[in-house]
Structure 1
């Protein structure tokens, strides 16, 4: 069968992916095969996944609502806890209306496939998440990709009133941010819609953790569509899409992955709600995370690897060659440190890297241990 050949080719190139079985993730630690590791590969940026407030909220909701929503939101799946979460998100982010999704992948698919027809264009940063790229390929719209954060290239490709510009707030593999004031300007002068995927900025950046737009001094209505996820800084899973009431009502009727999916489990929605309330008061956690980022960057500045320019929790160290990246990750693993070895096609060929992620759950000693291990392994 063809898939056997494809897998063999990937294995030979050092690109085959295998599924680790994690026995438990406990704050900054994880456990595999009875061994304990410091976890520098997750997205729990504020260390909330085991916060007592979230655990208690989920347990209480499970007892009240049950563990599942039992139907899609337009049947009987949308319950009072979902409405309460939507209201909290609107208040936090200054949005007119929001709707909940089971994942960021399904949210991006719903938006792009529901809003764009064959008469439209879709402009995307080349480093946008796979969910956005795949949605563009599945959409009847004409997809046009522009160089990463290259606003001159985007401006040259834009057509007036022709469709949608999409970019991320924080790019998931590079950790840098998009230039949102310029994206807003280009969308306005070209009369095109603008969408932000702020999965990795929400909760970490901006006042009360409101995300990349707030961090860059922009109001939420600077964009037409605001997508964020609950599986990063909020420590749970799921996603939302926000914007005008008209947008949300339209997606209620035409967003297929929303209409035809069972809704978020009520305990999950309750945990997210508790997480939002914690995030709004988490200035101390964000300050601690910024301190860890600065310490890490200073500590690895002399390594013979490329440290990408990122001020966020995502700190990529580019190794280049795939097998060398795997060997470095394994050397760190031998020292009790778990890191993400990211290889093509997730990143461009020749840019395989360790995607090191920091969390407010980490201590300064944890980060120093990682720095020391990197120096000893190279």
Structure 2
């Protein structure tokens, strides 16, 4: 952990936890070439005792919060997901459940189970088969796209809508409009979330390449416009998460000084062995290790106070202070900033560009800014 004075910073952190990420396994049936978590290189599953202590810790500090199941591939430890869901119900906790999956293991039976759990689903898909298969191959080397589409169809048969998450590499960015078209064709996709490639984990190994700024600006804007065209022609409206967030902020005149709960002390990610980090994207980085949830004296606020995350606001960040739109983005993802610059207290240029593209899309659509 970072060293430094704790006492003056603990008071800055919120006691309430709003997001608990449980990395229920390190195992994965895919070998995504950029995986920041290096999914599949560890076979360890989270135990019930670790999961229970994490839920109890959050519940003791929060009247309501969200639990996100992640990994690896969380469906490889579906029994634990079900056990946590049952525990939440038995304690009558005000908790929303969300699960991020690669979708390949969603059989009709699994889809029915997920529906019974009432869990919101995010499915990872980077584009058309020739793109997604190269970026997100099966552990044995084959393509994963057809299995993902079967999984999505099984979810659709149960009436389950999903959000897609796509990682923006040079290759996937070039095919974003085709991803929008595929999402509209599938019929049960309500939106797409775009995640810029981060050079962490396997992503540090230099393959694949991140998108060039011109390509990023051109293709993200084209994808948002294509979604609008499909909706005007009578198809489903595929929403982009950050565009919708900006529209909401502008309509409600909401300012955003922080990017995420990791910078306000309101989130924690717990690995299978009980190790705690500010968010899943920091997991495994010794600089952001906060302790173990199984330790009786563990304190999230105290541990976070020894990191550079408290006080990360747009008023103090280099690259944000002079930006007229700083209160709309909150300074961008701290994990992405760290991956690109080695620091969390300065803006990541790629992140800035992507958010300016989103803002241009909102201006074009609403004429509000």
Instruction: Select the structure with the greater relative contact order (CA < 8 A; seq sep ≥ 6).
Output: 1
Is the radius of gyration larger for structure 1 or structure 2? Answer: 1
Fold conserved between structures, TM > 0.5: no
More strand by share: 1
| TM-score, normalised relative to structure 1 | 0.31
